[in-house]
Amino acid sequence: MSAKIAVLGLVIEEPGPPHRLTAKLRQRLASAEFVDSNVYSALARLERDGLVRAVERRAPGKGGARLAAVPDVDPGLRTPVRRTPGSRTESRVFEATPAGVQRFEEWLLGSSSAPPLRDELHMKVALCQPHNLPRLIELVYGQELVCLGRVQELRRVFERMQPPAPNRWSGLVLVHVRDAELSFWDARLTWLQGVRESLERMHTAYGTARQRYSEA
Amino acid sequence: MGALLSLQGIGKSYWRGDSEVRVLTDVSLEVHAGQFLAVWGPRGSGKTTLLKLSARLEYPDSGCVSFEGTDLAQLSEAGHARLMLERIGWVRRSGPKSDLRMLDYVALPLLAEHGRREAYARATAAMERVGVATHAGQHWSSLCDGERALVSIAHGIAREPRLLLIDDPTANLDVLERERVTELLRSLADDAAIAVLMAVPDMPATMRAHQLASLGGGRLVFVPEPPQRPEPELEPAKVISLRSRQQSA
């Protein structure tokens, strides 16, 4: 999934400055590993495509908050907060255009494709020979540890957050995203353990048969 | 502080026809007071066997299981019964066999030790603790799966055990019910210093546990801690006062 569509969804949910959108993206899609610069480049592309627009928000004070569209958009998104002489702090806030809302809804309601499984270990399992079994068992076990390490990282990320309240919409969404991530590793680990177990059994049977053959 | 429950080098296998099925191979774990340990593994990986061995409901082929430093294999039948009555809570998912009210069901194991009034007071407190006091007068058949899971936990903690063994408490629960049950188990460990050993087949149910271990292919693997990133060393900020800058100007 591209950062562009995720950022567009967050902007539609609530217009905000880039730094706030970055924090929300990190919280909402913890394991997607978007880096902070993804948000800035996504906003630049969305703005170029007319899907979001920047507005200036004057900090509340005398005269109250005021929003005004920025007529000529400067790509200096990395400096969201700037000062103008004799005025209060202003920050650039991004909001979705009608075209942006329409694009997001088309994406959200469109069908999703299922990616084919083509990872390296999958291919090694498909192409291995009996004499490769000990090494392959080792590799599978190593992958199990990698997956478990990933689970632990995710647990830490979610542990740092406030426990989501699943009876509220925002909390429920977070729980579903977290479940999706954990269920992915759950399925992966189940597969790896099953593969290791059957390879170990095959290795034992193969070794016994070879021993009998050599004795005969 | 020593471990409450300790399993060292446990091996266990079953015979299925003529073939031996190795369920656990050299499994070791420790559970401490106030620790919530989740053992994750696919169905048939030996999670229930692990829990049964922890309560001496089955014997291991090899290795040693000890509780509070006592080897469970050395306990007499009476000693084991007392241990299960006072120190170890086994959470049953099956509910009562007879058509008891839920308060009677939770109070039932307490009646052997306490007077009727005391037993019912403790049962009520346990049901309030898990948030199912309103179901005290209901029967098992009238409860939904989430309520049954909570009543089962109330039944398990009513005797105030030091260790709670719980097998797949989130089976058939929806997301909200699952979160409620796992949050409750976490709070029992954090607030009441009960050691909780939970076995589950789905990863999301392990989220609130203090520690996670994976059981599969006979091996128990503790989830490795990710490497700690060193905190960046910050240089002390250079503070230049406005007055000194004006003076120099």
B126 pLDDT band (50/70/90 cuts)? very high
In the prediction, which pLDDT does A120 show?
86
Write out chain A residues lying below 8 Å of B203, CB-based. Answer: 151, 182-183, 185-186, 189
Write out chain A residues lying below 8 Å of B179, CB-based. Answer: 166, 175
Write out chain B residues lying below 8 Å of A148, CB-based. Answer: 212, 214, 221, 223-224
Interface with chain A: mutation pick from B211, B214, B219, highest number of A CBs within 10 Å: B214
Mean pLDDT for all residues in chain A: 79
In the prediction, which pLDDT does B245 show?
52
Whether B191 has a pLDDT exceeding 90, the answer reads yes
In order of A201, B228, B229, B235, the CA distances from B232 in angstroms are 48, 12, 9, 9
B212 touches chain A (CB under 8 A): yes
Whether A80 has a pLDDT exceeding 70, the answer reads no
In the prediction, which pLDDT does B246 show?
54
Interface with chain A: mutation pick from B223, B225, B228, B229, highest number of A CBs within 10 Å: B223
Determine the distance from the C-alpha atom of residue B105 to the mean position of all C-alpha atoms in its chain, rounded to a whole number: 21
Whether the Cβ atoms of residue B25 and residue B218 lie closer than 8 Å to each other: yes
Write out chain B residues lying below 8 Å of A163, CB-based. Answer: 183, 208
A163 pLDDT band (50/70/90 cuts)? low
pTM: 0.76
Ordered strands of the A81-82 beta sheet: A66-69, A52-58, A90-96, A81-82
Q: Inspect the interface and report whether the beta carbons of A182 and B204 lie closer than 8 Å.
A: yes
Whether A75 has a pLDDT exceeding 70, the answer reads no
In the prediction, which pLDDT does A162 show?
64
Which residue in the set A152, A176, A194 is minimally distant from B223, CB to CB? A152
Q: Which two tokens stand for residue A87?
A: 């005025």
Write out chain A residues lying below 8 Å of B208, CB-based. Answer: 163
Whether the Cβ atoms of residue B67 and residue B51 lie closer than 8 Å to each other: no
Whether the Cβ atoms of residue B10 and residue B62 lie closer than 8 Å to each other: yes
Beta-bridge partners for B167: B199
Q: Looking at the complex, report in whole angstroms how far the Cα of residue B222 sits from the nearest Cα belonging to chain A.
A: 8
A77 pLDDT band (50/70/90 cuts)? very low
B42 touches chain A (CB under 8 A): yes
Who's near B138: CB < 8 A, 6+ residues apart? B101, B102
Determine the distance from the C-alpha atom of residue B170 to the mean position of all C-alpha atoms in its chain, rounded to a whole number: 12
Write out chain A residues lying below 8 Å of B216, CB-based. Answer: 144, 189-190, 192-194, 196-197
Whether the Cβ atoms of residue A26 and residue A12 lie closer than 8 Å to each other: no
B247 pLDDT band (50/70/90 cuts)? low
Residue of A nearest to B178 (CA): A166
In tens, the pLDDT along B87-122 reads: 999 998 888 887 889 999 999 989 888 889 999 999
In tens, the pLDDT along A102-117 reads: 999 998 888 887 777 7
> Across residues A87-98, what is the average pLDDT?
77
In tens, the pLDDT along B160-188 reads: 999 999 999 999 898 889 989 999 999 99
Range of lowest pLDDT (A144-148, B187-191, B195-199): A144-148
Mark out chain A residues that contact chain B at CB-CB < 8 A: 144-145, 148-149, 151-153, 155-156, 158, 163, 166-167, 172, 175-176, 178-179, 182-183, 185-186, 189-190, 192-194, 196-197, 200
